[in-house]
């Protein structure tokens, strides 16, 4: 079945890969996807903030996007997030493999189970991120010249503002490692539709309070992003639908 790569900030296309642009409309809205051609015909690419980064985190139509991928038959998603590091254990410009999340978003459409027609459903979140694909990220990262750190808990904030130092201190105390604005509800919605989901975060700054002011690191970023995309495609190619088990509904 097809697989999908969802790109976050800075990842707006698949360099060197021919794609066909397609708008998919469903009951939640319209999603813009790019269908790979030739060798990549089973790859769907979606860039979360739009090709020209015009959609802010709280306005992304997460449901339209995930439903569009589901309707294309996508069984596995690899997703990327630009984040702030809230601990120096996840250095800026190294990748963090996500294993868990803390959801502080609000006011977003965060579930498919809010309509009478779908009934009541509770997706199980003991392992929100696919362990098989996550292990493959760690295994293949050195081949793509990427330093990768396992075990990150992603703190999802509503944005679009950044956090205060006191908030970051609180997130540290709660066990968060990186902070961003988009992983929730994306990972949850994929789980609700039975799609395997794994993700990497790229810290591009130290979070509020770790330094005097937030500085977004730009050095080498294009190379890191290109390596990241190559790694994600490699992970999707070297894992299979059969190996991966999506979260179950209770
Ligand atoms: N906070 C929230 N989201 C972010 C950050 C941050 O420090 N850096 C990149 N996305």
- Residue-level pLDDT at 114: 84
Residue 138 structure tokens: 């760690």
Question: Are 17 and 210 contacting, i.e. CB atoms less than 8 angstroms apart?
Answer: no
- Residue-level pLDDT at 115: 72
Beta bridge partners of 224: none
Beta bridge partners of 43: 3
CA distance 120 to 122: 7
pLDDT string in tens for the chain (250-residue length): 999 999 999 999 999 999 999 999 999 999 999 999 999 999 999 999 998 889 999 999 999 999 999 999 999 999 999 999 999 999 999 999 999 999 999 999 999 998 766 778 899 999 999 999 999 999 999 999 999 999 999 999 999 999 999 999 999 999 999 999 999 999 999 999 999 999 999 999 999 999 999 999 988 899 999 999 999 999 999 999 999 988 988 8
Q: Whose CA is nearest to atom 2 of ligand 1?
A: 180
- Least Cα distance to 146 among 231, 82, 84, 233 occurs for 231
CA distance 101 to 127: 10
Does ligand 1 come within 6 angstroms of the Cβ of 168?
A: no
- Least Cα distance to 210 among 169, 176, 159 occurs for 169
Domain boundaries, the chain: 3-237
Give the helix/strand (H/E) hosting 135. helix 131-140
CA distance 72 to 57: 24
Give the residue carrying structure tokens 């190619």: 237
- Residue-level pLDDT at 120: 85
Q: What Rg, from alpha-carbon coordinates, does the chain have?
A: 17
- Residue-level pLDDT at 245: 83
Q: Which CATH class is domain 3-237?
A: alpha beta
Residue whose CB lies within 8 A of the most ligand 1 atoms, among 162, 169, 171, 202, for a mutation test: 162
- DSSP assignment letter at 92: T
Residue whose CB lies within 8 A of the most ligand 1 atoms, among 178, 180, 202, for a mutation test: 180
Q: Which atom of ligand 1 is nearest to the CA of 85?
A: 7
CA distance 190 to 214: 32
CA distance 75 to 44: 11
- Least Cα distance to 122 among 131, 114, 130 occurs for 114
CA distance 33 to 44: 7
Beta strand 76-85 pairing with 3-7: parallel
38: Cα within 13 Å, side-chain hemisphere: 5
- Residue-level pLDDT at 157: 98
Q: Which atom of ligand 1 is nearest to the CA of 57?
A: 3
Question: Are 20 and 40 contacting, i.e. CB atoms less than 8 angstroms apart?
Answer: no
């Amino acid at each position: 079945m097809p697989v999908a790569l969802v790109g976050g900030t800075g990842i707006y296309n698949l360099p060197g890969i021919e794609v066909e642009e397609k708008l998919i409309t469903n009951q939640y809205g319209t999603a813009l996807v790019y269908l790979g051609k030739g060798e990549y015909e089973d790859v769907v690419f979606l860039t979360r903030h739009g090709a020209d980064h015009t959609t802010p985190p709280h306005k992304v139509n997460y449901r339209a996007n995930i439903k569009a991928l589901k309707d294309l038959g996508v069984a596995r998603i690899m997703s990327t997030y630009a984040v702030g590091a809230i601990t120096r254990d996840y250095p800026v410009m190294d990748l963090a493999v996500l294993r868990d999340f803390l959801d502080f978003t609000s006011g977003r459409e965060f579930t498919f189970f809010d309509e009478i027609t779908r009934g009541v459903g509770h997706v199980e979140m003991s392992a929100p991120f696919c362990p098989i694909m996550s292990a493959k990220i760690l295994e293949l990262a050195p081949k793509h010249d990427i330093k990768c750190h396992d075990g990150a808990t992603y703190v999802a904030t509503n944005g679009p503002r950044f956090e205060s130092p006191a908030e970051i201190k609180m997130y540290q105390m709660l066990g968060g490692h990186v902070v961003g604005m988009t992983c929730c509800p994306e990972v949850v919605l994929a789980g609700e539709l039975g799609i395997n989901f794994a993700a990497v975060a790229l810290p591009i700054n130290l979070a509020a309070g770790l330094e005097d002011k937030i500085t977004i690191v730009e050095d080498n970023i294009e190379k890191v992003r290109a390596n990241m995309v190559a790694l994600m495609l490699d992970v999707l190619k070297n894992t299979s639908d059969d190996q991966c088990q999506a979260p179950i509904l209770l």
